[in-house]
Chains A and B, each alone.
Chain A
Amino acid sequence: NAGVTQTPKFQVLKTGQSMTLQCAQDMNHEYMSWYRQDPGMGLRLIHYSVGAGITDQGEVPNGYNVSRSTTEDFPLRLLSAAPSQTSVYFCASTASGANVLTFGAGSRLTVL
Chain B
Amino acid sequence: GEDVEQSLFLSVREGDSSVINCTYTDSSSTYLYWYKQEPGAGLQLLTYIFSNMDMKQDQRLTVLLNKKDKHLSLRIADTQTGDSAIYFCAECTNAGGTSYGKLTFGQGTILTVHP
Q: Which residues of A contact B (CB under 8 A)?
A: 31-33, 35, 40-45, 48-50, 58, 90, 92-94, 96-97, 99-101, 103-106
Residues of B near A100 (CB, < 8 A) are 33, 45, 48
Is B42 a contact partner of A99 (Cβ separation < 8 A)? no
Q: Tell me the complex Cα distance, A58–B103, Å.
A: 10
- Choose one: B97, B99, B108; the contact of A94 (CB below 8 Å): B99
Given A99-B92, A104-B42, A105-B41, CB of A42 within 8 Å of CB of B105: yes
B3 to chain A, nearest CB (A): 11
Q: Which are the 10 A-B pairs with shortest beta-carbon distances?
A: A33-B101, A42-B105, A31-B101, A43-B105, A103-B43, A105-B42, A103-B42, A42-B107, A48-B101, A31-B100
Tell me which of B48, B100, B103, B104 has the highest count of chain A C-beta atoms within 10 A of its own C-beta.
B100
Is B101 a contact partner of A43 (Cβ separation < 8 A)? no
Between A and B, 25 residue pairs with Cβ closer than 8 Å are A32-B101, A40-B107, A42-B4, A43-B43, A43-B105, A44-B105, A45-B102, A45-B104, A48-B101, A49-B101, A90-B42, A93-B101, A94-B99, A97-B97, A97-B98, A99-B48, A99-B92, A99-B97, A101-B43, A101-B45, A101-B99, A101-B101, A103-B42, A103-B43, A105-B42
Residues of B near A94 (CB, < 8 A) are 99, 101
Residues of A near B30 (CB, < 8 A) are 99
Residues of A near B106 (CB, < 8 A) are 42
Q: Tell me the complex Cα distance, A45–B90, Å.
A: 12
Residues of B near A103 (CB, < 8 A) are 42-44
B31 within 8 A of A: yes
Residues of A near B92 (CB, < 8 A) are 99
